[in-house]
Amino acid sequence: MAQQEAKQRRPSIHDVASHAGVSAATVSKVLAGVTTVRPENARRVFDAVERLGYRVDPLASDMRRAKRRIIGAIMPEFESEFFGSMVTELEGLAEQRGYTLVAASSRESETREKEILARMHDWRVAGVVLAPVRNEHGPAAAFMKANGMTGVLIDRVLSDDAFDTVSADSAAASAEVARALVGQGHRHVLVVGLGQQAATVRARLEGFRSAALQLAPDTRIDVVLSESEVEPLRTLLRDYFSKREAGDDRPTAVYSLFLKGTLVALSEFRRRGWHCPNDISLVGFDDAEWMQATWPAIAAVVQPVREIAGNAMEVLFRRIEGDGGPPRARLEPCKVLMRESVGSPGSGPHSGGGDRQ
Amino acid sequence: MAQQEAKQRRPSIHDVASHAGVSAATVSKVLAGVTTVRPENARRVFDAVERLGYRVDPLASDMRRAKRRIIGAIMPEFESEFFGSMVTELEGLAEQRGYTLVAASSRESETREKEILARMHDWRVAGVVLAPVRNEHGPAAAFMKANGMTGVLIDRVLSDDAFDTVSADSAAASAEVARALVGQGHRHVLVVGLGQQAATVRARLEGFRSAALQLAPDTRIDVVLSESEVEPLRTLLRDYFSKREAGDDRPTAVYSLFLKGTLVALSEFRRRGWHCPNDISLVGFDDAEWMQATWPAIAAVVQPVREIAGNAMEVLFRRIEGDGGPPRARLEPCKVLMRESVGSPGSGPHSGGGDRQ
DNA sequence: TCTAACCGATAAATCGATTTTTCGTTCTTG
DNA sequence: CAAGAACGAAAAATCGATTTATCGGTTAGA
């Protein structure tokens, strides 16, 4: 039933109206759940809807209202598990409230980020969930501000004076990593990161540093940051290890502040024939499915994707519904999974590839 | 300049018209590039557009035309690199042609897949790129057919009598994997897969089997398939290995037909203390960034994401523009990257964890 | 000279809904 | 019993564009 001839024009609200013998306005009201309609007419409308297989055209529907039921989501990339599941979550939450999510990737470019935002503004989206490439002070957030758009900033942000922010509590997680490493006896740790993501990198670095130094003031913390690209980081890391190896004072552990850094560190270990955790320990910010399948399993900070997405959507819809309170910065706690890639620095440097496990 | 008062109603085409001293129709024509407008008027329109910061409302614009400039994309998940970059590519291609991409995740559920499709039909999208959960014969494709939607099916499909299909040439790639493994001396290989994805799983399995048997007719090929979920596969695999280990006839190599299978196999190796490639070799369908950073690096079949996306969009737009030719099934060649996880079965079974490299 | 074709532009219809206004009944109530 | 409130539904306005029909004014051809 309700099987219409394919390829045909879909029935409009007027078709339903004439089939039910009422006006289009009445159909609209019935479907919106207005109670001031005679039951008899409501029934006939429902019948006609059923018979014609009618469904409201969201485009036409949104046309008439001030706020359209579309949410925009801008992520720096779609290729990682973190942003992938973030989009999945956001889409589900938007759908729950009858909104459509339009997601776009800024591909780690602030220029593109702003263009996408302009296009979403053209669509007159009700709200935007923006995961900025760098931080909350970029051109995209400025654009949103200048055009009075409503939105939430997530992930690589700390706090903002115009928008709500939701992100992982990087500092606390990093402090926990520091406690774990220092607790295992590590006193010389290398931290690697990407300077571009200034907002969170600083929080992660300082969280780690202060916790480590508090527990063991003699801890030596080296830092290798690449400005904006991942590849330069590989070179910097290579140089760093070469120098340290020559001077025989290489770190006993590496803490990567972002996923690609973990991969770069791992492959640099490979190149040098170092094995985790005997030759060096490794912890990375951001978990991934493969990390528990490889040997050794890689220790990682797990970001609370569901919580971030859920909170972002909640606060966003509050704003859409007119909440005018001051913007709030929310931090969600992470989980730190200490896996086999972390051990005591016992075996000492240059221990070679002998025994594992 | 063009900096309007924030939060204010955006200028409509009528605002531009009155500022330029012409009618809305003229503005529309000028912006559409119609040449039958007096240059003087065109200039005034452009001036007004500039002054007001006017941009066409895509919603209102699409309202009036039969085909809306929206493309729907449905992927089984967003969490993997493959589908993540697929969405990125599709989005870029849609944007290039002035279309907006609305992506949704079916979360590996055929029910959800159909619901999403129905919603996209409500939006009257111009076309759909569907990566079905199972294959081209599912309810989603049937829905598209019944409603006369235009679309392309990608990835887990072979060919269809109603829609164009674009996918990786799984069979050829699997044959190449077979040649590589047999060439290295493997004569007992386990193939693991997910039965749900019938379309491609069969192609991959048969491609592998026929090539292997052709080269070495005595090759023994075991198959472990889980019907639809990943977790059962873990159990099946565990049972399989236990039995084979007891009988002292375990395979010397594993070929996983999909990414999660590779992860399951890897962690099962971990559990048993088997190391690649000394104790067992491993090749997986689907590449991932981490596979070249771990030790050993994991051999994998790389699917041509860009080519698949590019072709899908090209054929889709051809259909949107009215091409009525018979549907075509397109196969894009894969690359096979043989990495360290594959070696000769020399060390023999139960070789233990001694020497690596 | 009169009509036909042509030009450029405007008015009006249209897309498919929602929302406001108007209007005819029926029900209260003084 | 008449005035007014209440009710339910239809008519009309609206959202912001595109497209078609129309129209006045030239110019060309018969």
Residues of chain A with pLDDT under 70: 1-8, 346-357
Structure tokens at B306: 């860009």
Taking residues B139-144, report their average pLDDT.
Answer: 97
Do both B282 and B174 map to the same domain?
A: yes
Average confidence score pLDDT of chain A: 93
Say if residue B166's pLDDT is above 80: yes
Judge whether B274 and B207 are in contact, CB under 8 Å.
Answer: no
Straight-line distance from the first to the last Cα atom of chain A, in angstroms, rounded to the nearest whole number: 64
Do both A153 and A209 map to the same domain?
A: no
**Could you identify the residue written with the tokens 């569901």?**
A306
Taking residues B87-102, report their average pLDDT.
Answer: 98
Which chain A residue is nearest to residue B355, measuring alpha carbons? A354
Q: Nearest 5°: phi and psi at B180?
A: -65, -45
Q: Provide, as residue numbers in chain A, all residues whose Cβ is less than 8 Å from the Cβ of B63.
A: 59-60, 63
Say if residue B351's pLDDT is above 50: no
List the single range of A11-25, B63-77, B103-117, B336-350 with lowest mean pLDDT: B336-350
Residue B176 lies in a domain: yes
A75: nearest Cα among A155, A21, A158, A160: A155
C-alpha angle B173-B177-B181 in degrees, rounded to nearest 5: 170
Q: How far is the CA of B93 from the C1' of D26 (A)?
A: 47
Residue B355 lies in a domain: no
pTM of the model: 0.94
What is the widest separation between alpha-carbon atoms in chain B? 90
Q: How far is CA A68 from CA A10, A126, B69, B72, B120, in A?
A: 22, 5, 17, 19, 16
Rounded CA gap, A90 and A71, in Å? 9
Do both B124 and B212 map to the same domain?
A: no
Average confidence score pLDDT of chain B: 93
Do both B323 and B178 map to the same domain?
A: no
> How many cross-chain Cβ pairs, A to B, lie less than 8 Å apart?
150
Judge whether A214 and A150 are in contact, CB under 8 Å.
Answer: no
The CATH number that applies at residue A38 is 1.10.260.40
Q: A92: which strand partners?
A: none
Rounded CA gap, B26 and B54, in Å? 15
Judge whether B262 and B342 are in contact, CB under 8 Å.
Answer: no
Residue B194 lies in a domain: yes
Do both A208 and A295 map to the same domain?
A: yes
Residue A8 lies in a domain: no
Number of domains chain A is built from: 3
Of B68, B88, B292, which is closest to A59 when you measure between CB atoms? B68
Would you state the pLDDT for residue B2?
41
Percent of chain B with pLDDT over 70: 94
Encoded amino acid at B21, one letter: G
A224: nearest Cα among A249, A186, A258: A258
Report protein residues in contact with nucleic acid strand D, where contact means CB under 7 Å: A 21-26, 36-38, 40-41, 63-64; B 9-14, 24-25, 27-29, 31-32, 56-57, 60-61, 63-65
Rounded CA gap, B113 and B153, in Å? 13
Do both A144 and A198 map to the same domain?
A: no
Q: A130: which strand partners?
A: A74, A153
Tell how far CA A207 is from the center of its chain: 20
Do both A74 and A109 map to the same domain?
A: yes
Rounded CA gap, A248 and B317, in Å? 61
Residue B2 lies in a domain: no
Do both A26 and A145 map to the same domain?
A: no
Where do runs of H (alpha helix) occur along chain A? 13-20, 24-32, 39-52, 58-64, 81-96, 110-122, 139-146, 170-183, 198-215, 231-246, 259-272, 305-320
**Could you identify the residue written with the tokens 């999974």?**
A337
Do both A241 and A342 map to the same domain?
A: yes
Rounded CA gap, B119 and B114, in Å? 9
Do both B209 and B342 map to the same domain?
A: yes
- Number of other CB atoms surrounding residue B357 within 10 Å: 8
**Could you identify the residue written with the tokens 């790389």?**
B302
Say if residue B354's pLDDT is above 80: no
Would you state the pLDDT for residue B7?
52
CA distance B213 to chain A (A): 31
Structure tokens at B233: 């596969």
Q: Which nucleotides of D are covered by protein (CB under 7 A)?
A: 7-12, 14-20
The CATH number that applies at residue A191 is 3.40.50.2300
Q: How far is CA B152 from CA A172, A286, B127, in A?
A: 47, 35, 8
Percent of chain A with pLDDT over 70: 94
Do both A85 and A19 map to the same domain?
A: no
Would you state the pLDDT for residue A23?
95
Residue A352 lies in a domain: no
B100 and A84: CB-CB below 8 Å?
no
Judge whether B224 and B237 are in contact, CB under 8 Å.
Answer: yes
Do both B151 and B256 map to the same domain?
A: no
Residue B5 lies in a domain: no
Residues in Cβ contact with A5 at an 8 Å cutoff, skipping those fewer than 6 apart: none
Among B54, B70, B122, most A C-beta atoms within 10 A, so best to mutate, is B122
Residues in Cβ contact with B241 at an 8 Å cutoff, skipping those fewer than 6 apart: B250, B268, B272
Q: What angle, 0 to 180 degrees and rounded to 10, lies between the N-to-C axes of helices B198-215 and B170-183?
A: 40
Q: What angle, 0 to 180 degrees and rounded to 10, lies between the N-to-C axes of helices A24-32 and A39-52?
A: 90
Structure tokens at B163: 């829609």
Say if residue B339's pLDDT is above 90: yes
DSSP B183-237: HTT--EEEEEEEGGGHHHHHHHHHHHHHHHHHH-TT-EEEEEEESS-HHHHHHHH
Taking residues B251-255, report their average pLDDT.
Answer: 97
A88 and B68: CB-CB below 8 Å?
no
Q: Which residues constitute the domain of residue A277?
A: 170-303+337-347
Q: How far is CA B126 from CA A73, A338, B100, B147, B151, in A?
A: 22, 49, 10, 13, 9
Q: How far is CA B94 from CA A55, B67, B85, in A?
A: 26, 14, 14
Would you state the pLDDT for residue A351?
41
